[in-house]
Amino acid sequence: MKKIICLPGDGIGPEIIKSAVDVLEFVGKKYDFDYEIEYFPFGGSAIDEMGHPFPEELKTKISNCDAVLLGAVGGPKWDNEKVRPEQGLLQLRKHLEVFANVRPLSVNKSLSTHSPIKEEIISGTDLVIVRELTGGAYFGEPRRLLEESALDSITYTKNEIEKIVRYAFELAKTRNNKLTSVDKANVLATSKLWRKIVIEISNEYPEVEVDHMYVDAMSMALITNPNRFDVIVTENLFGDILSDEASVLGGSLGVLASASFSLDGPNLYEPAHGSAPDIANKNIANPIATILSLSMMIRHSFGLDYIAKDIENCVDEMISDGLVTCDLKKENYLTTTEFTEKLIEKLGYEKR
Ligand code: IPM
Ligand code: MN
């Protein structure tokens, strides 16, 4: 029996998690797959209920599950808290040691019609951003915020860089053997070390073609030439920014799933987007990113590739049938719950 810890979080989090869990319930029955879900407040809702975004009680429970499914955290309500909801998310990532954040974007024909980029440029885009998730500016010390000055530190050790770079090379081997490493080695010391290590490790992977790009050039190339990329590996902050940029190539931030891996689990699955407090409780959020994060969980944590494929195929069909939420379509769009119901209907057709 697989044990899932589910953290709906804040804003649209509970709505999109409900969609994903409805889908999980359906495929669980369809394929006779047994699991158990335990829910915990997390982020802002945990501040409200328990006084901390990542409560101690959850910390002890979470190490014993098979996977964690997270909605989203944060919102203006908690902007002035001593420990903000986002801090809880960073602590969770650190606690689980999920150093490799994988955000795949494949723009198939149906999604390309929703892209803001011209079809001839976007077509064929199939890339994965591998973002280092437990180091860099997000965790660097010292840090301080004073009235007249502020300080953040970007730190990386050789060991941290090697771990994520090896992960990316291994992933490239399972795909098209192409790796683009993104840094700012013309300015930053951490990027100089990063590039040196990528070059060293590339000797162990002669079959993988490697190139290096500065992050500013990369942000341009993602728009002008997205289909030249396969696996992109980069540090935490660059990966955060570039993955938001990449996500809209597919028409909306609401379609980008993500999985965060540690060396031996449990892994963390969460959509790449935030809690979107402005559209919370309106039943209009796009649940695709969360549903696809769930399918990554089913594939990577449970090894049930055929179930993941079934979900992904049906999501593709939904998009190509124009059955999408309002972020992807101006009229005749579906609500969150309608999308979920229709998707489940599709999953129910016997032909698969
Ligand atoms: C993400 C989010 C988070 C991040 C925020 C909510 C702290 O933007 O998962 O990309 O910056 O990592
Ligand atoms: Mn982000």
199-228: average pLDDT: 97
pLDDT at 305 over 60: yes
Residue from 29, 31, 196, 216 carrying the catalytic annotation: 216
Closest atom of ligand 1 to 73 CA is 6
Q: What is the pTM of this model?
A: 0.95
User: Going by CA atoms, what residue is nearest to atom 6 of ligand 1?
Assistant: 86
Q: Is the CB of 10 under 6 A from ligand 1?
A: no
The residue whose CA is least distant from atom 12 of ligand 1 is 240
**Across 326-342, average pLDDT:** 95
Q: Atom of ligand 1 at shortest distance to CA of 240?
A: 10
Compute the average pLDDT of residues 9-22.
98
Tokens 């192409």 label which residue? 178
Start-to-end Cα distance in the chain: 25
Q: Which ligand is nearest to the CA of 98?
A: 1
Kindly tell me if the per-residue pLDDT of 244 is higher than 80.
Answer: yes
159: annotated binding-site residue? no
Please give the full DSSP string across 100-156, using - where no structure is assigned. EEEEEEE--HHHHTT-SS-HHHHTT-EEEEEEE-SSGGGT-S--EE-SS-EE-----
Find out whether 283 is annotated in a ligand binding site. yes
Q: List 6's β-bridge partners, or say none.
A: 39, 69
What is the set of domains in the chain, with CATH numbers? 1-106+252-352 (3.40.718.10), 116-250 (3.40.718.10)
Can you give the pLDDT at residue 350?
59
Is 244 tagged catalytic? yes
**Of 57, 47, 50, 49, nearest to 88 (Cα)?**
47
pLDDT for 293: 98
In this prediction, residue 111 carries a pLDDT of 80
**pLDDT digits over 105-154, tens only?**
998 777 888 889 999 999 999 999 999 999 999 999 999 999 999 999 99
Residue tagged 């982020």 (tokens):
43
pLDDT exceeding 70 applies to what percent of the chain?
A: 99
Q: Any idea what the Cα angle at residue 83 is, between residues 102 and 253, rounded to 5°?
A: 35
Structure tokens at 230: 């396969």
